[in-house]
């Protein structure tokens, strides 16, 4: 998988975000209504990545910087948003590779902790996050009052910028 920095409103990202929203509709009965804008993912306060396999977009994910707020965030948080892998590429390590690159980039931007929100109807995602070193944490964000919502966090190491994405592979 080739991972490229992209814009949240890039046509390939928009297509995969729509597929993700359809998955939310199927699993939860409606789309994710978290307010997001393309500007949320602009460096240095955020980043959006698109993964390609055989020149087709197969994975997306981004992070946006957060600071301490009444929504439950802490200073230095990077909030993981819109992680998605197309069904045909699942189980190949694409999500793990994309998430590792997002973590590296967030750490290199000075973010201290990666946080994310998911739901009980996404057990595969919960398994991925737990196996990647995330632990359940106090709820935050738009869905913090939803009973099926689960929030996870992972401390990020102090890291140097890594621009060699060629080593990031999925089968």
pLDDT in tens, 95-105: 999 999 999 99
pLDDT at 162 > cutoff 70: no
Interatomic CA distance for residues 110 and 75, integer angstroms: 11
DSSP-derived 3-state class of residue 84:
strand
Provide the whole-model pTM.
Answer: 0.91
The pLDDT score that the predictor gives to residue 170 is 65
Q: Which CATH architecture has domain 2-167?
A: 3-Layer(aba) Sandwich (3.40)
| Phi, psi (degrees; rounded to nearest 5) at 50 | -125, 130
């Amino acid at each position: 998988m080739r991972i490229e920095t992209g814009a949240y409103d890039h046509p390939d990202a928009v297509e995969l975000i729509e597929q993700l929203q359809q998955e939310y509709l199927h699993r939860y009965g409606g789309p994710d209504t978290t307010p997001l804008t393309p500007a949320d993912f602009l460096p240095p306060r955020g980043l959006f990545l698109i993964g390609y396999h055989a020149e087709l977009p197969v994975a997306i994910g981004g992070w946006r910087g957060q600071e301490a707020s009444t929504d439950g965030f802490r200073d230095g948080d990077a909030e993981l948003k819109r992680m998605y892998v197309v069904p045909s590429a699942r189980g190949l390590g694409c999500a793990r590779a994309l998430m590792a690159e997002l973590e590296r980039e967030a750490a290199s931007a000075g973010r201290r902790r990666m946080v994310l929100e998911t739901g009980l109807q996404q057990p595969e995602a919960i398994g991925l996050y737990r196996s990647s070193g995330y632990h359940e944490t106090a709820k935050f964000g738009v869905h913090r009052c939803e009973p099926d919502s689960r929030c996870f966090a992972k401390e990020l190491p102090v890291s140097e910028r890594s621009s060699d994405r060629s080593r990031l592979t999925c089968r």
